Amino acid sequence: MNAIEIKGLCKSYPDFTLSDINLTLPQGAIMGLVGENGAGKSTTLRLIMNAIARDAGSVSVLGVDNQAPSFAALRQDIGVVLDEAYFPEVLTAADVGRVMAGTYRNWSTEQYQSCLSRFSLPEKKAFKDFSRGMKMKLAIAVALSHSPRLLILDEATSGLDPMMRDEILDIFNDFTREETHSILLSSHIVSDLEKICDYIAFIHRGKLLLCEEKDRLLEEYGVVHVRRGDYEALPEDAVIGRRETPYGAEALVRRDGVSSAFGVERTTLEDIILFMAKGER
């Protein structure tokens, strides 16, 4: 079964259009959604949760159409963390735990307690005194504590220090040890996604430019460094994007289209995305 299946998804606003998004997240996998600010990542996530209504297309989550009546019950199985976490200001982490215990059928107080201590979150401090990182960690603790099968996270690691980001990634990694558990997370910290994702989807100006297995991407593409005069020798259809300096040129290429004599080097996800985004302009 697929955790998320999106076909032909469209949504128009007066100043922004998300058009024809098709993506599939198989169960047990982690997919990273990348894109610049305003590319449509959050819109896509909100459309998946049916928090905003779509104009066209279909979205099915854990096998259920997200506009079907039965989707309401399914929300219990989905842990959502949005880029800004809000809880009532006067509540403490312990209060939030009590409220959630009354909200979620499968709430695990034990799991919540272990998250709080793992994240070193104070139980008695009011939410208004939390730092951005602490707010985010609290939201993640809540999302993990109602036994979800799917996590949807919007910029969950931004605003956290590298150590904490790494720890959160470890938690996500552990979460998917269970093969029925899946994660869709958006981020513009590409290195984080490169660390844990199985699939990468790249949204640019409301369009999905890419949705592929991460390791295949890294195998398929490479970077070549050539003298500016030699640039023309590269087969045009193999070149995805280029960057020129007064001293030479650098190009992102499809490995299978370029002779190994060019010395194709390993690239990073970040470079693939940057070159592709520039190529679109």
Partner 1 sequence: MDIIISNASGRPIYEQIYAQIKNAVVSGELSAGDALPSIRALAKDLRISVITTKRAYDELERDGYINTVAGKGCYVAPKDLSLVRESQLVEIEQCMRRILELAGPLGLGRAELAEMFENLCS
Residues in touch with partner 1 (CB under 8 A): 28-29, 173-174, 176-177, 179, 195-199, 213-215, 219, 265-266
Our CB check for partner 1 shows the closer of 75 and 195 to be 195
- Nearest to partner 1 of 134, 196 (CB atom): 196
Q: Which of 61, 57, 59, 66 is nearest to 9 (CA)?
A: 57
Phi and psi at residue 188, in whole multiples of 5°?
-105, 10
Does residue 64 contact residue 78 with C-beta atoms inside 8 Å? no
Smaller CB separation from partner 1, 58 or 173? 173
Cα 97 from Cα 80, distance rounded (Å):
16
User: For partner 1, which is the closer residue by CB, 65 or 198?
Assistant: 198
Closest CA to 137 of 113, 117, 121: 121
Amino acid at 80: V
To partner 1, the closest distance from the beta carbon of 223 in angstroms equals 11
Q: How far is the CB of 33 from partner 1 (least distance, A)?
A: 16
User: Which amino acid, 99?
Assistant: V
Paired residues of 11 in beta bridges: 18
Closer to partner 1 by CB, 107 or 172: give it: 172
| Minimum CB–partner distance for residue 193 and partner 1 (Å) | 12
Based on CB atoms, which residue is closest to partner 1, 223 or 239? 223
Angle, vertex CA 57, rays to CA 52 and CA 61, nearest 5: 70
CB of 185 to partner 1, least distance (A): 15
Q: Minimal CA–CA distance to 188: which of 31, 34, 40? A: 34
Of the candidates 33, 44, 7, 62, the residue with the CA atom closest to the CA atom of residue 206: 44
Are the C-beta atoms of residues 99 and 91 closer than 8 Å to each other?
Answer: yes
The least CB distance from residue 114 to partner 1, in Å, is 19
- Give every CB contact of residue 186 below 8 A, 6+ residues apart in sequence: 32, 33, 34, 35, 41, 42, 44, 45, 153, 154, 155
Which of 97, 222 has the CB closer to partner 1? 222
Work out how close the CB of 214 gets to partner 1 at its nearest, in angstroms, rounded to a whole number. 6
Instruction: In angstroms, give the least distance from the CB of 229 to partner 1.
Output: 21
